[in-house]
A and B are shown apart, each in its own frame.
Chain A
Amino acid sequence: MQEKRDRLVALLREFGSVAVGYSGGVDSVFLARVAVDVLGAEKVLAVTGTSDSLPVWMEATAGEVAERFGIPWLEVETAELNDPRYAANPSNRCYFCKSELWSRVREVADARGLAVVVDGGNADDVGDHRPGAVAGGEAGVRSPLLEAGLTKAEIRAWSRELGLPTWDQPAAPCLASRIPYGTAVTRERLQQIERAELALRALGLRDFRVRHHGDVARLEVHPSELPSVREQRAAIAEGVRAAGYREVVIDLQGYRRGALNEGLSPAALLQLGGAA
């Protein structure tokens, strides 16, 4: 792992100055923190794209960590919801969102004289269905964690050494990922999903998704948290219904990454790269 750490430090030095796409998640927080260590705060800017698709608790985490660790931080509003190609929610939706994000981050970087835009992509992301990465590549975004070969587990371990509170934070993609492909992404739906997820977080759950199926909320909860679901069944159902769902069900297979890709044909998934 030392070789990978050395490689990351060398890459950042080579870049000289960076604008970090900073969501408040494990990878981008870690990258911003290391970048400040290596380059100094004056050569780093963490940029968070804000819209209704970013969970409010992620935005709060981004701000709190930036303040605590001396990471220069800027929020920019993104307008992916105004793009009908994004709002239609095709399987390559992330491509349009990331295209918007990186264009905004690039504007900021250019205005401030920061040489390279970087993201928190890591070695475990290779091979996944990630149209957003295509947009990053087109925008010239570099992924130093991936280029250094760092895996998610290694990033978590190093984050813990650095005292980052995000070291054990569950993965937290944007709220639009809870809406099945082909169902339009709207502000109202995103806000409804967020209300439901905040209700579950308030009950102590951490690793879960509220999947939106019209007036049905399908909860995917990590198996380790199912005993908590059993103990708080009524409160969970009440909280989710209060968010505006008529019916609350829990998936028997629990939370798994990419569940909404299940049942999509390989051709539909391949559309990502092709459309991008």
Chain B
Amino acid sequence: MSADDRVAAARGLLLARGFVGATVRAAGTDSEIAVLGVAEGDWERMLLGDDHDLARALKALGFRYVSLDMEPLPPG
């Protein structure tokens, strides 16, 4: 799966879990990290929520690590 394909599939996974407007990009020296961006209101749910399968599902797309951007997305 190409990097773009991974990102598109990851966006679909997030949308299905109710993270509307979430962003996904690949980062790191080998694009090995999925960086998720969510709005301020979703940031805590993403970090502390009980959806333990989310990271595993995203890793199954080919990312070695799944992470959350420390900066929430700006409103709007």
Evaluate contact between B70 and A236: CB separation under 8 angstroms. Answer: yes
- Total interface residues on A, using CB and 8 Å? 25
> What is the bound-complex CA distance between A219 and B47, given in angstroms?
12
> Which of A133-141, A146-154, A222-230 faces chain B?
A222-230
> What is the bound-complex CA distance between A203 and B67, given in angstroms?
21
* Residue A213 CB within 8 A of the other chain: yes
* Residue B8 CB within 8 A of the other chain: no
Evaluate contact between B66 and A252: CB separation under 8 angstroms. Answer: yes
Digitize A180-215: 1 where CB-to-B-CB distance is under 8 Å, 0 elsewhere: 100100000000000000000000000000010110
Digitize A80-93: 1 where CB-to-B-CB distance is under 8 Å, 0 elsewhere: 00000000000000
Evaluate contact between A216 and B70: CB separation under 8 angstroms. Answer: no
Evaluate contact between B44 and A230: CB separation under 8 angstroms. Answer: yes
A-B CB contacts (within 8 Å), total count: 66
> What is the bound-complex CA distance between A214 and B27, given in angstroms?
10
> What is the bound-complex CA distance between A227 and B49, given in angstroms?
11
Evaluate contact between A253 and B55: CB separation under 8 angstroms. Answer: yes
> What is the bound-complex CA distance between A216 and B30, given in angstroms?
11
Number of chain B interface residues as a range: 20 to 34
Query: Which residues of chain B have C-beta atoms less than 8 A from A250's C-beta?
Result: 47, 67-68, 70
* Residue A13 CB within 8 A of the other chain: no
Evaluate contact between A213 and B68: CB separation under 8 angstroms. Answer: no
* Residue B46 CB within 8 A of the other chain: yes
Instruction: Determine the main DSSP class of B at the interface with A.
Output: mixed
* Residue A248 CB within 8 A of the other chain: yes
Cβ of A228 to closest chain B Cβ, rounded Å:
11
* Residue A116 CB within 8 A of the other chain: no
* Residue B33 CB within 8 A of the other chain: yes
Evaluate contact between A226 and B47: CB separation under 8 angstroms. Answer: yes
With A230-B47, A247-B27 known as contacts, the answer to whether A213 contacts B70 (CB < 8 A) is: no
* Residue B35 CB within 8 A of the other chain: yes
Residue positions of A touching B, CB distance < 8 A: 180, 183, 211, 213-214, 216, 218-219, 226-227, 229-230, 233, 236-237, 247-253, 259, 262-263
Pick 16 A–B contacts, CB within 8 A, sort by A.
A214-B28, A218-B28, A229-B47, A230-B48, A233-B43, A249-B27, A249-B33, A249-B70, A250-B47, A250-B68, A251-B65, A251-B67, A252-B47, A252-B54, A252-B67, A263-B64
